[in-house]
Structure 1
């Protein structure tokens, strides 16, 4: 059999580039959490996550070397300060693995669906299996420690029904139908994700010294609070208990364990995933009030992400993704 030298496509180059940044970022955060963690059970999960990230970084480096592509800078030891006191209590580290593995499953699934070359496809299917395993480990441990909230329960359906009226979407004047199972799910995980963001913002606000970045983080916290308040109000109107976060306290440390570049890059990543997830929620919602709110929030987060983008560009912190060749410039020479 003749073996052809198949080059990487734009999807494969972009996917590897994105994965390298995510994995080097994870190494920094996991090293910091592991440095302070005392709970042996949580330490096992964090160590596995760190081992997976190290393995993926090694594989990406090998692919880049083989293809003669310059390796991105990403993040390194200079972006964390292990001498800084712990900023969060120990359950937060487990919550971090849970949230990031959940987002990792979504992100790596998107990338994997665009890959064709066998070695790159193998890499991303393995990465997807890894984050799925971490999600399982983190969820199981959170349940055992009583720090995992399940989505709201509804009655089992008793028969198959079809939508008969357009009012299913718009509702009658002054009256809306009850939430369906899909809408409840999206609301629950939106609230959960934003509670994590608020806690993360609280910690960073008290340690970040740069005023512009501090104000940026405060704006992010307000956007998360706005979403939680809106959705909890809907739940309470429909006789569901409002969802509140499990207590995971921020310490009184005022020393930042992370570089400002790492902080802003993490927000950049979270914003991109958040837009994807809210867009999915919008596509699944069949109630006008939900669709309208999701649309507004997407616009708000896009503007917020743009301000973060400007901060990173102005400070020279944002690496440029691999670019396509500008054919028009070549033609004009």
Structure 2
């Protein structure tokens, strides 16, 4: 009996395309990390990360070839120089991997509900499962080395209590209520994410070839530092610890291991993830003053992201993603009014 071949939907094509671009970048990154790592446990984590990225690229390539869909250019060995001096420490490699797997879990979980074909669902379920394994492995190594930074502890509830006053939503004037567990979680997480972003972009600002990119990266450093300061203020006001900085993990070198194209894409990807994080945090932060900060930062980071896209377009580094047919253009080509 002949089986009807079901075409890929727009969401499936878009998810697979983005998966290829991102993991082709991570293949380059982890090849460089593995050329520099010294610690045996960290090396094992990086080998696992590289293997997963290569598997994901191969999986998408196979599907696209079978469908007759163009294979994205993504990133290749031309975008990485494994002979370049060390830019980041072994500890940074672990922190980076932990944060990238956190982002991957969010991304894959967002794509999965919009997939329909069995093989595509299996692909993204496999991506989620393998990312969870890498997340756990990286967390265990960080804990064993005493490097993992836990979120703050708060008292256990001794009884159930209901919110009775509108002051629960207040935040600008008068007495402020203590932060909720969800608000603490997002403030703490966003501080960590911005510390990671500051470290990555500091390294990139040192080694980027184009002056325009160096200036763009320096601007990103200032934006991240400002957000860290604001988010830390709320934790300090509630006598809660603030995550430590990793700036010292950036080494003193000006020779770039990555192409400017790759570095700009990575910052654009991290910026987009940050916007998503703030949207999630906003929905879980009833205090008006905190919610207002997330709204303000979403606008600021949105403008920064747009400037990054303009740079990618200017230097012809931005691949056009899968898109709907331009019917008007098709009609113009055939001189149809």
Residues in 1 aligned to 2:46 and 2:185: alpha-carbon distance in whole angstroms: 27
> TM-score, normalization: structure 1?
0.97
Tell me if structure 2 keeps the 8 A contact 1:198–1:221: yes
Q: Is residue 261 from structure 1 mapped to residue 261 from structure 2 by the alignment?
A: yes
Tell me the equivalent position of 1:85.
85
Residues in 2 aligned to 1:264 and 1:33: alpha-carbon distance in whole angstroms: 18
Tell me if structure 2 keeps the 8 A contact 1:233–1:242: no
Deviation per residue, 1:168-222 (Å, 9 max, x gap): 1124832210000000000110001111111112211211231110111111111
Deviating above 4 A after TM superposition, structure 1's stretches of 4 or more consecutive aligned residues are none
Tell me the equivalent position of 2:129.
129
Tell me if structure 1 keeps the 8 A contact 2:34–2:47: yes
Tell me the equivalent position of 1:206.
206
Tell me if structure 1 keeps the 8 A contact 2:199–2:246: no
Aligned pairs for 1:41-60 (under 5 A) are 41-60=41-60
Q: 1:89 to 1:60 in 2, by over 3 A?
A: same
Tell me the equivalent position of 1:277.
277
Tell me the equivalent position of 1:115.
115
Q: Which is further off, 269-278 or 181-190?
A: 269-278
Q: 1:196 to 1:289 in 2, by over 3 A?
A: same
Q: 1:172 to 1:186 in 2, by over 3 A?
A: closer
Residues in 2 aligned to 1:42 and 1:182: alpha-carbon distance in whole angstroms: 31
Residues in 2 aligned to 1:172 and 1:208: alpha-carbon distance in whole angstroms: 42
Following superposition, the deviation at residue 331 of structure 1 comes to 4.9
Tell me if structure 2 keeps the 8 A contact 1:23–1:57: yes
Residues in 1 aligned to 2:232 and 2:243: alpha-carbon distance in whole angstroms: 6
* Paired positions, count: 333
Tell me if structure 2 keeps the 8 A contact 1:17–1:72: yes
> TM-score, normalization: structure 2?
0.96
Q: Which is further off, 69-78 or 51-60?
A: 51-60
Residues in 2 aligned to 1:66 and 1:173: alpha-carbon distance in whole angstroms: 61
Following superposition, the deviation at residue 58 of structure 1 comes to 1.0
Residues in 2 aligned to 1:154 and 1:106: alpha-carbon distance in whole angstroms: 26
Tell me the equivalent position of 1:173.
173
Residues in 2 aligned to 1:28 and 1:171: alpha-carbon distance in whole angstroms: 45
- Name structure 1 gaps, 5 residues minimum: none
SS in 2 for 1:113: helix
Following superposition, the deviation at residue 239 of structure 1 comes to 1.5
CA RMSD after TM alignment? 1.4
Residues in 1 aligned to 2:208 and 2:143: alpha-carbon distance in whole angstroms: 33
Following superposition, the deviation at residue 246 of structure 1 comes to 5.3
Residues in 2 aligned to 1:330 and 1:33: alpha-carbon distance in whole angstroms: 46
